[in-house]
Amino acid sequence: MSTVKRPILSVCCIGEVMIELVNGKDGKIALGVAGDTYNTAVYLKRALKQNDVKVSYCTALGPDPYSEIIRQSLERYGLDTSCIETRADKIPGLYAVDTDDHGERSFTYWRSDAAARTLFQTPAEISLETLNQFDLIYLSGISMAILPANVRSQLIDFIATFRNAGGTFAYDSNYRPKLWEDQATAQEVNARMWGLADIALPSIDDEMELFGDVDEASVVARLHGYGVNTGALKRGAEGPLDLEGKTVAQNLNTVDKVVDSTAAGDSFNAGYLSAFLQGETTQAQMEAGHNLAARVVTYPGAIIPE
């Protein structure tokens, strides 16, 4: 018998927020704040601004000026910051973005000793049990990759218990090979996460790279094998695929020129989840995700103007 899910009145996105350096075409460097689950949280809060759903962000930061910039950014976008751990001896991660003429981006990271890697570890003011106050938890493969193996295992066990108590879990594998010890570990962890996901938001490229699937049908079949039925497979300009297999995406906006593909998947997730939380149809969920992402890629950087 499936667990009855409680109404979703609060969401917690978990992961790492970093200082972003964008290398502009004019040779100037713009400083920003970004990170995959952070990007989703910002866009989700925007989409739900007329709604009573609380959107929180859970991470670890330091006491330094750049951590303060991140805190101010979270607060400026209206995100709840009560689940942020402060580590006296740590600082946030840093990354630089370079974008080619086709809008495709490449990243250079400095994050090996970032505060977010200490999340849920002793001494911890924010424990896993703290997350029980939320109705929906959103995680990504990046969130999992930066954590030590024992903390990952504890988090997986917590998510299982959280779901059994009526909580909802949403996941995006967001595969970044350099963050994982090896591909086999990434496969094992992500397979377990897909098996727990109430809402699955994979990307076709990530899944094929990580698991070696030969085509789209193989990706979908594998996800169904984990028990995944609700969610969307992101396929870029081609449009999302309903993982339940009953709905065809329609009313999808097209983009003449991609300026920067940063946060395309993150914003899709936000659009999809916002429509889900507001009781929209599967078609409306996919449309909201795709069309938000289509707008985001026409601007430079992860967070675009409202």
% of the chain at pLDDT higher than 90: 82
- The overall average pLDDT reported for the chain is 94
Asked if residues 113 and 18 have their Cβ atoms less than 8 Å apart, the reply is no
Q: Annotated catalytic, 266?
A: yes
Reported as a pLDDT band with limits 50, 70 and 90, residue 120 is very high
Look at residue 144 in the predicted model and tell me its pLDDT: 98
Look at residue 107 in the predicted model and tell me its pLDDT: 79
Question: pTM here?
Answer: 0.95
Reported as a pLDDT band with limits 50, 70 and 90, residue 1 is very low
Residues 201-217: what's their mean pLDDT?
97
Look at residue 2 in the predicted model and tell me its pLDDT: 64
Task: Tell me the sheet residues that pair with 80.
Answer: 56
Q: Tell whether the model's pLDDT for residue 141 goes beyond 60.
A: yes
Q: Tell whether the model's pLDDT for residue 276 goes beyond 90.
A: yes
Cβ-count burial of 187 within 10 angstroms (0-12 exposed, 13-18 middle, 19+ buried)? middle
Residues 181-194: what's their mean pLDDT?
98
What are the pLDDT digits (tens) for 41-73?
Answer: 999 999 998 888 999 999 999 999 999 999 999
